[in-house]
Structure 1
Amino acid sequence: MEVEDGAELCFPQLLNTSCRKPTTSWPETMLTTIVMYFISVFTAALNLLVIIAVSHFRQLHTPTNILLLSLAVSDFLMGLLVIPGELVLKTSCWLFGDIACTLCRYTCLIIISSSVGDMVLISVDRYVAICDPLHYTNRITVRSVKLCVCLCWLGAALYCFHFITDDLTQPGRYNSCHGECVIVINHFSVAIDLVISFIAPITVVIVLYMRVFVVAVSQARAMRSHITAVTFQLSVSQKKKKSELKAARTLGVLVIVFLICYCPYYCVALAGDNLANSLFVSAVDCLFYFNSCLNPLIYALSYSWFRKAVKLIVSLQILQPGSCETNIL
């Protein structure tokens, strides 16, 4: 590969085969670096709080919270691994070799796929809780949810593996020069992936939540019409319904934010190379990664248990003996 005289090379010792360093403008590079750095740090930190809270306090070991824990793990890995890796690819050369490049891309694909799977599981959980509450405790248990989460991650790993098989057999086969990290997916695979990993799951999520919304509205009206009932049994029943409806609203916001952040990303992916070097693509990428940071903020605004848990974690009270039995709800 021939380069212009004076061009900055990723590997100066490899004059004829080295890539040139990215040539984006200094202000754009600085802006991208600062924004993605803060998203990465806050994403990892906030989701780590969710992971510690749900894992430590036994009262939070519910089916719904197990699903939130799985989502928090994928978001935490997004902030810890994926965003820094993408930042390196955008602003500098890839210096870690072809195998590391393939594994980095593979990890990114698994995390994104598992996040989409978690959203589907959360929607199913809320659908059963609101639309079939009498059978919820029998159908949705902590054990069954843990099994579904494990299958979700295993399925994501197996599904994404076929995208990197060529790169594992011939690492760097699509790189045009040293210092590049590229994985090429043919158009047919991209179309199939778009349907399997985005269109189909998002359709399921939207359909389920439309049903949940209709039932939730009818239940809210029913509770208001029976507001004068004073028996203890009815009062407890109404409190449980209100709790389920609040959870449905909160997780509904979670799903809506997910759609807002992910849809532009997949639209740009469909556009292909037509927008490859535009500032718009960088903004869409930042929005995509920012979704992982927004989820814990939604919990903080909606769940009092999360705010209490954060106070106990930050003050290190969780290190005290028996702290896992604390009444957090």
Structure 2
Amino acid sequence: MEEVELCFPQLNTSCWKTKRPLSHTVLIYMVLSFISLLTVTLNLLVIISISHFKQLHTPTNLLLLALAVSDFFVGFDMLFQIMLINGCWLLGDLLCTLYLVYDYIFPSTSIGIMVLISIDRYVAICDPLHYSTKVTQGRVQVCVSLCWIISLLYVCIVFKDDMKPPGRYISCVGECGGTLSIFHQFSDFIILFLIPISVIIVLYMRVFVVAVSQARAMRSHIAAVSLERSVKVTVKKSEIKAAGTLGVVIVVFLICICPYFCVTVKGRDTYVSTSSASFVLCLYDSNSCLNPLIYALFYPWFRKCIRLIFTLQILRPGSCETHML
């Protein structure tokens, strides 16, 4: 008869450990640890770059900075996800509740800031003449602050029952889970998934249409003034690149968050309790690792910032005045 492994062998009320081959466990730990380290590192580079260099202090980059801050903390959150892979929580009920709140607030804030970024790009492309008056650093700071406040208030509402007292819904010692009512599961799907996704897709499709129209108009102008064929090809490639970038933004975001909300909308009673749920949450959080790659890595100034940081030139006096654009 196979022996049952418990999180706390000395307790009859202990949860069971998830049993898997040692090689699989080591591989999972290594992959998740690497993703966590990469998430923290990339977002820290974005934070340092935008905060240090004055030329990067623009409304758009302020949104990237806010996104990097929330994604930076998501990277640390994944360390706790690693602990839950085997189905055991060893840090007690209070820290479990704090972890659930932590795990909820930063990803939801990242989603809100991504919506703000899509709005910023929509105004920049579709209404460029009024962009400087409509999108200012002051307004961006207010919007980002509201995003954080709304996320915090929403999390407090969702987990108000789990906080009094912590662990009241735990079925066995070593479990870390809370409960989401049907109403909260539905509101999660609407507020954190359906509405942001709809806004992002609609705005990006509008940006794409306008960008393609402008590129075609430019190509027509080039043809009218009889420039070389090679210039026409370059314009056409820019259209393809724009389409690919927008497609990556939407598809990667959907791939990362769809599994979590598919689980939520099916009516799971436990927020985090099994290794499969932990995997879904890790995939959900991994979007924070990809955000700096998608939103910042393709900017030339970011690559230049990385070079200055790793060569320690950022420590030189007056380095904040370096020309980055």
> Which bin holds the TM-score, normalised by the shorter protein?
0.7 to 0.9
- How far apart, CA to CA, are the structure 1 residues paired with 2:167 and 2:54? 47
1:232-286 Cα shifts (integer Å, max 9, x gaps): xxxxxxxxxxx9xx99975664344212322233223334569x99987676555
Corresponding residue number in structure 2 for 1:63:
59
CA shift, 1:116, in A, is 0.9
Contact 1:64–1:125 (CA<8 Å) still a contact in 2? yes
Corresponding residue number in structure 1 for 2:235:
none
Corresponding residue number in structure 2 for 1:51:
47
Query: For residue 187 of structure 1, what is the amino acid of its counterpart?
Result: I
1:180-214 Cα shifts (integer Å, max 9, x gaps): 11111112210121101110111111111111111
Contact 2:81–2:278 (CA<8 Å) still a contact in 1? no
Q: Secondary structure in 1 aligned to 2:304?
A: helix
Match of 2:180 among 171, 181, 185: 185
Map 1:139-218; keep pairs closer than 5 Å.
139-218=134-213
Match of 2:7 among 6, 10, 21: 10
- How far apart, CA to CA, are the structure 1 residues paired with 2:278 and 2:88? 17
Task: Provide closer, same or farther for how the CA distance between residues 32 and 272 of structure 1 changes in structure 2, counting only shifts above 3 A.
Answer: farther
Corresponding residue number in structure 1 for 2:233:
none
The two structures, once aligned, show a CA RMSD in angstroms of 3.0
TM-score of the aligned structures, taking structure 1 as reference length = 0.84
Contact 2:89–2:174 (CA<8 Å) still a contact in 1? yes
Corresponding residue number in structure 2 for 1:130:
125
- How far apart, CA to CA, are the structure 1 residues paired with 2:173 and 2:279? 28
Task: Provide closer, same or farther for how the CA distance between residues 299 and 127 of structure 1 changes in structure 2, counting only shifts above 3 A.
Answer: closer
Contact 2:84–2:275 (CA<8 Å) still a contact in 1? no
Task: Provide closer, same or farther for how the CA distance between residues 66 and 216 of structure 1 changes in structure 2, counting only shifts above 3 A.
Answer: same
- How far apart, CA to CA, are the structure 2 residues paired with 1:204 and 1:300? 21
Contact 1:250–1:302 (CA<8 Å) still a contact in 2? no
- Give the stretch that moved more between structures: 283-292 or 44-53: 283-292
Match of 1:316 among 289, 309, 312: 312
Query: For residue 265 of structure 1, what is the amino acid of its counterpart?
Result: Y
1:66-90 Cα shifts (integer Å, max 9, x gaps): 111111112111112x111111112
CA shift, 1:287, in A, is 3.6
1:288-316 Cα shifts (integer Å, max 9, x gaps): 33322222233565211000000001111
Match of 1:115 among 104, 110, 114: 110
- How far apart, CA to CA, are the structure 1 residues paired with 2:153 and 2:219? 48
CA shift, 1:8, in A, is 3.6
CA shift, 1:41, in A, is 0.8
CA shift, 1:10, in A, is 2.7
Match of 2:302 among 287, 299, 306: 306
- How far apart, CA to CA, are the structure 1 residues paired with 2:186 and 2:124? 34
- How far apart, CA to CA, are the structure 1 residues paired with 2:118 and 2:277? 29
Task: Provide closer, same or farther for how the CA distance between residues 175 and 24 of structure 1 changes in structure 2, counting only shifts above 3 A.
Answer: farther
Task: Provide closer, same or farther for how the CA distance between residues 146 and 249 of structure 1 changes in structure 2, counting only shifts above 3 A.
Answer: farther
Q: Does 1:266 align with 2:247?
A: no
Q: Secondary structure in 1 aligned to 2:162?
A: helix
- Give the stretch that moved more between structures: 286-295 or 68-77: 286-295
The runs of 5 or more residues in structure 1 that have no matched partner are 231-242
Contact 1:163–1:185 (CA<8 Å) still a contact in 2? yes
Task: Provide closer, same or farther for how the CA distance between residues 6 and 252 of structure 1 changes in structure 2, counting only shifts above 3 A.
Answer: closer
CA shift, 1:20, in A, is 2.9
- How far apart, CA to CA, are the structure 2 residues paired with 1:180 and 1:129? 48
Number of residues of Structure 1 aligned to a counterpart in Structure 2: 310
- How far apart, CA to CA, are the structure 2 residues paired with 1:150 and 1:69? 13
